Amino acid sequence: MSRRISPVIPGFGLTLGYTLFYLSLLVLIPLAAMFIKTTQLSWDEFIAIISAPRVLAALKLSFVTALIAALINGVIGTLLAWVLVRYKFPGRKIIEAMIDLPFALPTAVAGIALTALYTPTGLIGQFADSLGFKVAYTPLGISLALTFVTLPFVVRTLQPVLADIPREVEEAATCLGAKPLQVIRYVLLPALLPAWLTGFSLAFARGIGEYGSVIFIAGNMPMKTEILPLLIMVKLDQYDYAGATAIGVLMLVVSFILLLFINLLQRRISTTS
Amino acid sequence: MSFRRFALATLTAALTSASIIGSAAAATELLNVSYDPTRELYVEYNAAFNRYWQAQGHESVTVKQSHGGSGKQARSVIDGLRADVVTLALAGDIDELYRVGKLIPEDWQKRLPDASTPYTSTIVFLVRKGNPKGIKDWDDLVKPGVEVITPNPKTSGGARWNFLAAWAYAQQKYGSEEQAKEFVGKLYKQVPVLDTGARGSTITFVNNKIGDVLLAWENEAFLALKEEGGDNLQIIAPSLSILAEPPVAVVDKNVERKGTREVAEAYLKYLYSEEGQRIAAKNFYRPRNQTVAAEFAKQFPALKLTTIDGDFGGWKTAQPKFFSDGGIFDQIYQAH
Amino acid sequence: MTSTTLANPSAARVAQRGNVWGRRFLIAAAWLIFTLFLLLPLYVVVNEALKQGLGTFFTSILEPDALSALKLTLIAVGISVPLNVVFGVAAAWCVSKYDFKGKSLLVTLIDLPFSVSPVIAGLIYVLMFGAQGWFGPWLQDHDIQIVFAVPGIVLATIFVTVPFVARELIPLMQEQGTQEEEAARLLGANGWQMFWHVTLPNIKWGLIYGVVLCTARAMGEFGAVSVVSGHIRGMTNTLPLHVEILYNEYNHVAAFSVASLLLALAIFILLLKQWSESRINRLKASAAEE
C-alpha cells in the first residue's frame, strides 16, 4: 500500500473535479430529485405508503427471493470458483469464459429464455410439473431467475482470493494431521469469508433491484408474486408519483447501506492481506 | 501505438452515432399511442389512412405506434411522450390527460361521434378446445380447480373491463354490493398470474399454457384464435358482459406544437368512415356504422351488455371506487 | 513450508488419493451446474429462434424495425461507453493516486448505480425531465425532448454503466503505485505526456476489460431504458425492448431470433473479455518474473 500525497503527479484538481461533476450531474442530482419528490409527503404519509400490506408483501418477496438466490450462489458459486481455480479438467476454459454470460446477456433475453424453460410446457417445467410443483409464476421461479442473473458475483469475487492462497498451506495443514473439515474451518474459511460475503452482498443487492429478467417469470400477483421494482412501475402507471418515489427511496436506502457494508468488507480484506 | 488508434476509433464512433440522431426524418409523421391489443388493427388502418390521405392530395404520412398497458400509456403521454393521438382502452385513462396533464380540454369526448368511440368490444371467455372444465358462465369461474387468467386492473384497461363485467354479473345475480365483492374476491383467488397488460395475459394463456380460462377482449380472443388456429382454443360468451368502449382523442398540446392538427384530426375521423369501420370489424372490433355492422353481424354473437355509464356512473365514479389505492380491488387482495 | 511437505510425503500421498474422488465429484458438479444454469437457457433461445428455419431467423433480424432497434442500441453504446471511459479514468486517477478525506464515500457513490434498481434509474430521469418534472416546462417551451426520446435512453444507459470502467481501473492503478509516473515527471514529461506514455500503456488491458463489461451492460439494459423509452416502434426501441415487443405480438420466433442476435453479441463480448484478461495475466506474470 504505497499511497501518499504526491506533489509530483499532476491532475488531482482536474480529475477529482471532473469525477464530482460527472457523478453529480448524472447520478446524484437525479437521485436527489427523487428524495425531494418524496418530501411532498409528510412523514406519516411516507410511513403509511411503505407500510401498506401490499408494499410490505413485495418488500418481503424481493428480500426473500434475493436472499435465496444469493445463498444458492453462495454455495454453487463457491463450488465453481474452487473447481475453476484448483483443478485442470476438460472444458475448464469454456466454463471460465462463460461464467460471465449472465452479465453480458440482456436481462430481457434471460427473462424470456427462463420463462420458456420453466413453464409447465418447458424443458425443466415439464419435469417439475410431473413431480407436482410449479416453478414459473411462483417465488421459486423468481429465485431461479435471480440466481441466473447474479451467478457471476460470488465466483468472480472468490476466484482471485482462492488463487492467492497457496495450495501448500492446505497440504501443510493436512500433513500436520488436520482433517479436511478442520482445513476448511481453520485455513480456508477465515481467508475466504470476507470475499464470499462481498460476492454474496453484491448478488443480494442486485437481486433486490432486478427487473428485466424477473417480470416475465414472476406472475405479478399483488401480495404473492409482485416484486418491489414492479410495484414502483405499477404506482407510476397509476399517476402516483409520490408513492412510486417513496418506494424508490426505500430501495435506495437499502442498497446504499448494503454498498457501505460491502466497501467496509473490502477494506478489511485489503488490510488483512 | 495501436491503443491510441483504438481510442481514436471509439471517439469517432461516438461522434458518428451522435450525428445520426440529428438526422431524423422530416416527412409528416404521427405518433399514435395506443393500448395493448390494437397492434394489428392499427398496422392495417395506418396503411389505409395513408392511401386515403395521399388521395386527398397530401404528402404521405407515416404513423408510428406505441403499445402497452392503457394506464401506463396515458401516464407516458402525461410525462411527455409526444403522442399526436391517443387510442386507449377506456375513457378514464384519457380523462387523466386532462386532469393531470392539461393536454386536452375536459369535454374531449364530445368532439367525435359516439362519445369518441369509433368501435366497441366486449369481454368474453377464451377456453381450451372442447372446454374441458365446462365453463359456460361467470359462476363456473369460481368453481374449485378452475384457473382464471386476467391482467392487473391497476395497469391494464382490459382488466378493468373484465373486473366490472364480473361485478355487474354478480350484482345482478346476488343483489347486494357486498355479495358482488365476495364473488369477485373469490374469482381473483383463482388467478395464478396477473400480467401488466392484456397481451401479456394472452401470451401466458395461449403460449405458456397456464390456466383454464382467459378473460379477454372479444377482439383479442378472436385474434388469438386466428394466430393460433382454432384447433386449441374456443370462445365462450357469458350470459352477461359489458360494452367495452375504447375511445380516441387528438392530444391538443402536442399537435399544436408539432403543427399536425389537421392530419391528426383526419386520422381519427377516418376511423368512422366505411373503410375504417370495415378494418376495425375485420380486426374483430364491433363497428359503430350500421351498414358495416350488418355485414359482419355473423361474426359477433348477440350478448346482453351492461354499460359503464348506465350501471357504474361513468369512469369518473368507477375508477376511484374500484381501482384507486385502497379501492375495492385493493381490499379484495388484502383480504386474502 | 516446502520442508514440511517433504517431511511427511506418504501422508500427502494419502491425502491426494482421497482427493481424487472428491475432485472428480466436484468437477462433475461444476459441469452439471454449468449445464443446468447457463447452457440450457442458451439452448432454449437458439432452439426457439431456429424453429422455423434459418430463413425466418434472418428475416426477423433484418426487418427494418429490428435494424432501427440495433441502430439505437449502437448509438446508446457509442455515447455511453466513451463518456464512462473518460469518467472512469478520471475517477480512478484521483482515487488511486491521492489520499483525501471522504474517499471511501466517493468510491461508494461511484458504485451506487450498480445496486440501484434499474427501474429507479429510469424513474429519476422522468422526474427530472418528464413533462411533469423539474425541468419539464422549460424543456417544453424550448421544444427539447429528453425522456421518451433518444437522449433519455442514452442517459439511462449511462447511469447504469457509470461504475464499470472505474471499478476495473481503481484496484489496478492502486497496485501500480506512482513511481513510474514520478520518474516520468522527473525526466521532464508534462502531465499529458506522462499520462499518454506511462499511465495509459500500463492500464490499457484493464481499461479494455472495463470497456467490454460496460459495453455488455449498455447493450443489454432493459429496466431503466424501458421506463424512459415510450416504446415507439422503429424510433425509441432498443434491441432488448424490441425483443419484448415481438414476444408480445405472437411473434415468438422473431423474438427469440433477435434474442439470439443479442446472445451472439454477448458471447462475442465474453471472448473479447477473455482475451483482454489473458493479456492482463500475462503482463502480471512477466512483471512478477522481473
- DSSP-assigned states of every residue in A205-240: HHHHH--HHHHHHH---TTTT--HHHHHHHHHHTT-
Residue A203 belongs to what domain range? 42-272
pLDDT of residue C176: 80
| Partners of residue B336 in chain A, C-beta under 8 Å | 223
Asked, for residue A56, whether it belongs to a domain, the answer is: yes
Q: Where are the beta strands (DSSP E) in B203-285?
A: 213-217, 233-236, 241-244, 248-250
Q: Indicate whether A68 belongs to any domain.
A: yes
Has residue A108 been placed in a domain?
Answer: yes
B334·A239 Cβ contact <8 A: no
Question: What part of C 60-79 touches A (C-beta under 8 Å)?
Answer: none
Query: Is residue A63's pLDDT more than 90?
Result: yes
On whether any CB of chain C is under 8 Å from the CB of B67, the answer is yes
Residue C30 to residue A80, Cβ atoms within 8 A: yes
Query: In CATH, what number is assigned to the domain containing residue C94?
Result: 1.10.3720.10
**In a domain? residue A28:** no
- Give yes or no for C168 touching A (CB within 8 A): no
- Decide if B333 and A222 are in contact by the 8 Å CB cutoff: yes
Residue C9 inside a domain? The answer is no
Nearest to residue A149, comparing CAs of A93, A77, A94? A77
Lowest mean pLDDT of A102-106, A163-167, B328-332, C74-78, name the range: A163-167
Sign of torsion over alpha carbons C78, C80, C86, C92: negative
- Residue C173 pLDDT > 70, yes or no? yes
* Of C241, C283, C251, C242, the residue nearest C51 (C-alpha): C251
Decide if A223 is inside a domain: yes
CA dist C120 and A231 (Å) reads 11
Is any Cβ of chain A less than 8 angstroms from the Cβ of C3?
Answer: no
Asked if the C-beta of C245 comes within 8 angstroms of chain B's C-beta atoms, the answer is yes
Among A53-62, B40-49, B52-61, B224-233, the least confident range: B224-233
Write the pLDDT tens digit of every residue in C250-263. 788 899 999 999 99
Q: Do C81 and B80 touch (CB under 8 A)?
A: no
| Confidence tier at B5 by pLDDT (50, 70, 90) | low
Note whether residue A101 is domain-resident.
yes
At B176-234, the pLDDT tens digits run: 999 999 999 999 999 988 888 888 899 889 887 889 999 999 999 999 998 876 788 99
Residue from the list C131, C133, C252 with its beta carbon closest to the beta carbon of B101: C131
Asked if residue C81 and residue C67 are part of one domain, the reply reads yes
The string of pLDDT tens digits covering residues A171-225 is 777 777 777 777 777 777 888 888 888 889 889 988 998 998 898 888 777 788 8
Q: What do you get for the CA distance between the two ends of chain B, in Å?
A: 67
Q: Mean pLDDT check: name the lowest of B2-11, C131-140, C211-220.
A: B2-11
Q: Chain B within 8 Å of C87 (Cβ-Cβ)? A: no
Residue B335 in this model has a pLDDT that exceeds 90: no
Q: Could you give the dihedral angle defined by the CA atoms of residues A78, A82, A84 and A85, in that order, rounded to the nearest 10 degrees?
A: 130
* Contact residues on chain A for C37, CB-CB shorter than 8 A: 76, 147-148, 151
Q: Chain C neighbours among B 211-270 (CB < 8 Å)?
A: 227-228, 257
pLDDT band at C101 (very low <50, low <70, confident <90, very high): confident
Rounded mean pLDDT of C110-115? 85
| CA A88/CA A149 separation, integer angstroms | 26
Give the model's pLDDT for residue A103: 86
Tell me which chain B residue has its CA closest to the CA of residue A225. Answer: B193
In 3D, which of B163, B157, B193 has the Cα closest to residue A135? B193
Q: How far is CA B146 from CA B141, B165, B215, B248, in A?
A: 6, 18, 13, 36
According to DSSP, the β-strands at B28-34 and B61-66 are parallel
- Same domain (yes/no): C36, C106: no
Report the pLDDT value the prediction gives residue C251, as an integer from 0 to 100: 82
C44 plus C156 within the same structural domain: no
**Interface membership of B178 toward C (CB under 8 Å):** no
Q: Answer whether residue C7 is part of any domain.
A: no
State the CATH number of the domain containing residue A188: 1.10.3720.10
Q: Do A223 and B75 touch (CB under 8 A)?
A: no
Q: Which residues numbered 131-190 in C keep a CB inside 8 Å of some CB on B? A: 131-133, 136, 139-140, 143, 145, 147-148, 150
Query: B72 touching C, CB under 8 A?
Result: no
Mean pLDDT across C42-62: 90
Which of C147, C196, C201 has the CB atom closest to B79's CB atom? C147
Does A171 contact C15 at a Cβ distance shorter than 8 Å? Answer: yes
**How much is the pLDDT for B208?**
79
Same domain, C36 and C129: no
* Nearest in space to B170 (alpha carbons), one of B155, B148, B186: B186
Instruction: Measure CB to CB from residue A113 to each of C27, C44, C91 and give the nearest one.
Output: C44
Measured CA to CA, the distance from residue A17 to residue A23 in angstroms comes to 10
Chain A positions touching C118 (Cβ under 8 A) are: 209-212, 229
Q: State residue B9's pLDDT score.
A: 55
Query: Which residues of C fall within a CB distance of 8 Å from A82?
Result: 26
Pick from A220, A226, A237: CB nearest B75: A237
Binary contact (C223, A211; C-beta < 8 A) = yes
The DSSP bridge partners found for residue B63 are B30
For chain B, domains (ranges, CATH) are 28-117+245-271 (3.40.190.10), 120-244+303-334 (3.40.190.10)
Q: Tens digits of per-residue pLDDT, A141-155?
A: 999 999 999 999 999
Residue A1 falls within a domain, yes or no? no
pLDDT, greater one: B122 or A239: B122
What's the pLDDT score for residue C154?
95
Residues of chain A numbered 118-137 and touching chain B (CB < 8 Å) = 119-121, 136-137
Instruction: Provide the pLDDT for residue C158.
Output: 95
Burial letters A97-121, b for 16+ CB under 10 A, else e: bbbbbbbbbbbbbbbbbbbbbbbbe
In this prediction, residue B21 has a pLDDT band, given cuts at 50, 70 and 90, of very low
Q: What is the mean pLDDT of chain B?
A: 88
Beta strand pairing call for B241-244 and B305-306: parallel
C30 and C93 housed in the same domain:
no
Rounded Cα–Cα distance for residues B158 and B278 (Å): 22
- CB–CB of A223 and B193 under 8 A? no
Mean predicted lDDT score pLDDT of chain A: 85
Per DSSP, helices labelled H in C230-251 are: 239-247
Q: Are A23 and C109 in contact (CB under 8 A)?
A: yes
Q: Look at residue C31 and tell me if it is in a domain.
A: yes
Domain hosting C237: range is 54-289
Q: What is the pLDDT of residue B12?
A: 54
**Given this model, what pLDDT does residue C153 score?**
95
Residues A196 and A186: their CA atoms lie apart, in Å, by 16
B286 pLDDT above the threshold of 90:
yes
* Beta carbons of C271 and A100 less than 8 Å apart: no
Task: Check whether residue C66 and residue C184 sit in a common domain.
Answer: yes
> How close is the nearest chain B Cα to the Cα of A219, in Å?
4
Q: Most B CBs within 10 Å: which of C68, C127, C232, C256, as the mutation test of the B interface?
A: C232
Q: Which tens digit of pLDDT belongs to each residue from C236-286?
A: 899 999 998 888 877 888 999 999 999 999 999 888 888 877 877 777 777
Residue B7 has pLDDT above 70, yes or no: no
Check if B192 contacts A (Cβ < 8 Å): yes
| pLDDT tens string B115-160 | 999 999 999 999 999 999 999 999 999 999 999 999 988 888 899 9
Residues C237 and C207 in one domain: yes
Contacts of A33 in chain C (CB under 8 A): 124, 127-128, 133-134
The band of A269, judged by pLDDT with boundaries at 50, 70 and 90, is low
A-to-B residue pairs, Cβ atoms closer than 8 angstroms? 68
Which run of H or E residues covers position A8? Answer: none
Task: Verify that C24 and C129 share a domain, yes or no.
Answer: no
- Give C288's pLDDT tier (boundaries 50, 70, 90): low
Q: Tell me phi and psi for residue B87, to 5 degrees.
A: -130, 85
- Chains touching C, CB cut-off 8 Å, 3+ pairs: A, B
The confidence score (pLDDT) of residue B2 equals: 52
Is A214 among the domain residues? yes
For B18, the closest of C79, C139, C247 (CB atoms) is C79
By Cβ distance, the residue of C99, C221, C247 closest to A5 is: C99
Same domain, C150 and C261: yes
CB spacing of A2 vs C177 below 8 angstroms: yes
Cβ of C78 within 8 Å of Cβ of B14? The answer is: yes
pLDDT at B20: 44
CB contacts < 8 A, B to C, total: 92
**What's the pLDDT band for B26 if we cut at 50, 70, 90?**
very low
Q: Residue C22: what pLDDT?
A: 82
Instruction: Indicate whether C146 and C262 sit together in one domain.
Output: yes
Shortest alpha-carbon distance between residue C290 and chain A (Å) = 19
3-state DSSP assignment of residue B249: strand
Q: How many domains does chain C have?
A: 2
Four-residue CA torsion sign, A215, A216, A218, A222: positive
Instruction: Look at C78 and B17 and tell me if their CB atoms are within 8 Å.
Output: yes
Same domain, C120 and C257: yes
Cβ neighbours of B39 in C, within 8 Å: 249
Confidence of residue C16 (pLDDT cuts 50, 70, 90): low
Which is higher by pLDDT, A41 or B45?
B45
Contacts of A121 in chain B (CB under 8 A): 208-209
A33 CB within 8 Å of a chain B CB: no
ipTM tops the 0.85 cut: no
Distance from CA of B51 to the nearest CA of A (A): 35
Per cent of chain B over pLDDT 70 is: 91
Same domain as C83, residue C112: yes
pLDDT digits (tens, 9 = 90+) for B67-103: 988 888 998 999 889 999 999 999 999 999 999 888 9
Is the CB of A212 inside 8 Å of chain B's CB atoms?
Answer: no
Judged against a pLDDT cut of 50, whether residue B17 lies above it is answered with no
Kindly report the nearest CA distance between residue B193 and chain A, in angstroms: 4
How many structural domains compose chain A?
1
